[in-house]
Amino acid sequence: MAEGYLDVDTDRAWACDHDHSLHPWTHFESFRAAGSQMVVSAGSGCRIEDSEGRSYLDAVGGLWCTNIGLGREDMAEAIAGQVRKLAYSSTFVDMTNGPAALLAAKIAELAPNGIERVMFSTGGSTAVDSAFRLAQFYQSCAGRPEKCHVIARENAYHGSTFASMSLGKRQGDRAPEFRYLTEIVHHVSAPNSYRRPPGVSEEDFVDWLVREFEDKISEIGADRVGAFFAEPVMGSGGVIVPPDGYMERIWRTCQMHDILFVADEVVTAFGRLGHWFACESEFGVTPDIVCSAKGLSSGYLPIGATLYSKQIHDVISHGDPERMYTSGFTYSGHPVCCMAALKNIEILEKEGILENASRVGSYFEKRLAELLELPIVGDVRGRKLMMCVESVMNKETKELFPREVNIGKRITGICEDLGLIVRPLGHLNIMSPPLILTETDVDFIVDALGEAIRRVSDDLAREGKF
């Protein structure tokens, strides 16, 4: 019976999905009218195939996650072997299993300086959610229960649980029908240099951002702020690379006020920028807590990990002899997911994939920069294999196209016709391809994306919208 599910025809898959599924970020009216635009049926390496047999280079990497590429037999064998041996066991209270224990030790070995402990969850959102709870738990155990407030940044994305969505504040994410934590979650500006005020230097912009952060701490009260959450490079918020000096100065401000620095590395960890972790290697910041997922298993199975310092553990694990950490998940330390992560790390190490990401990523940056010559490309930004192209109606004023133009989606529609998948987010086109990408793949991505942008520019000119 199960084998019959491997080769479902397009019409049946589309109908079942249309009639019974609720997708993440569903726009109800358009989904009701058109349903899913693609039924993906297979994948190998950097490419996916739809149910009609069309092949695409997936420059989105699934959702920032297919780091080692799809369809690996060695990964399939590792997963299958663990399923046969031990498909599930709880890790609650005082039970563990081999893969979970070994993975915790391996992550601690690779982690930034001082990080020694790992708490497993099911993905990026739950890793961030766990970090949120851990920060409050720690501050309370340290005798500072009033330090329960946290600061995050405008236009950030940290996940979709109640706490993580409250931390994030990306445009378009906050539906009025939902409620969010507002009393203890606060926000400051994103370090978006491209959108800094006209005539303001990058150095002055950093000064302003740091001063804003300090003012926010003063407004809330330094004795009430317990943690600051930040992606080293903001992902879904537009692939925002912070300007020089910003991260370190914010980090030092946190240290000055006993505020935990929480690095959301759900996207950047495990190679996206050519490092195991980006915060310390790329920006010189040693966080107190690190959130990871995506590249931890390269998307083969769902797993998240919240890493934290020895200092935090020493505080929370001593003191009250009756104290318990009452947080976790049924699938925390799932043996099959942990085995997938162990095998993934082994592949990344043995095949030099992080080195490839760094080398090919530099080439990707260089080639994508060529698109700045196109009339509607306002900015090309990012680092290594985490890049973004921002389209604007006026390059001088940086004015955006009206929402109804749907510029990002128009561009990706043509890209798909050319055999390329890129991600549209409003006026942005975002790319986070597998780390096994080659320079030949980069040439295809840049050439196809450039062609799509040119065609859209011509169409808009004919329509009188540009």
pLDDT at residue 2, rounded to an integer: 58
Question: Which band of pLDDT confidence, cut at 50, 70 and 90, is reported for residue 8?
Answer: confident
User: SS3 for the chain, per residue?
Assistant: CHHHHCCCCHHHHHHHHHHHCCCCCCCHHHHHHHCCCCCEEEEEECEEEECCCCEEEECCHHHHCCCCCECCHHHHHHHHHHHHHCCCCCCCCCCCCHHHHHHHHHHHHHCCCCEEEEEEECCHHHHHHHHHHHHHHHHHHCCCCCCCEEEEECCCCCCCCHHHHHHCCCCCCCCCCCCCCCCCEEEECCCCHHHCCCCCCHHHHHHHHHHHHHHHHHHHCCCCEEEEEECCCECCCCCECCCCCHHHHHHHHHHHCCCEEEEECCCCCCCCCCCCCHHHHHHCCCCCEEEECHHHCCCCCCCEEEEEEHHHHHHHCCCCCCCCCCCCCCCCCCHHHHHHHHHHHHHHHHCCHHHHHHHHHHHHHHHHHHHHHCCCEEEEEEECCEEEEEECCECCCCECCCHHHCHHHHHHHHHHHCCEECEEECCEEEECCCCCCCHHHHHHHHHHHHHHHHHHHHHHHHCCCC
Question: Which band of pLDDT confidence, cut at 50, 70 and 90, is reported for residue 5?
Answer: confident
pLDDT at residue 236, rounded to an integer: 95
pLDDT mean across residues, the chain: 96
pTM, two decimals, is 0.96
Please state, for a pLDDT cut of 90, what percent of the chain lies above it: 96
Rounded Cα gap, residues 413 and 305, in angstroms: 35
Mean pLDDT score, 360-385: 98
pLDDT at residue 3, rounded to an integer: 60
pLDDT at residue 1, rounded to an integer: 46
Residue 263: is its pLDDT beyond 80?
yes
What tens digit of pLDDT does each residue of 422-454 get?
999 999 999 999 999 999 999 999 999 999 999
Mean pLDDT score, 207-228: 98
What tens digit of pLDDT does each residue of 158-168 get?
999 999 999 99
pLDDT at residue 47, rounded to an integer: 98
Please state, for a pLDDT cut of 70, what percent of the chain lies above it: 99
pLDDT at residue 91, rounded to an integer: 98
Mean pLDDT score, 342-353: 98
What tens digit of pLDDT does each residue of 308-341 get?
999 999 999 999 999 999 999 999 999 999 999 9
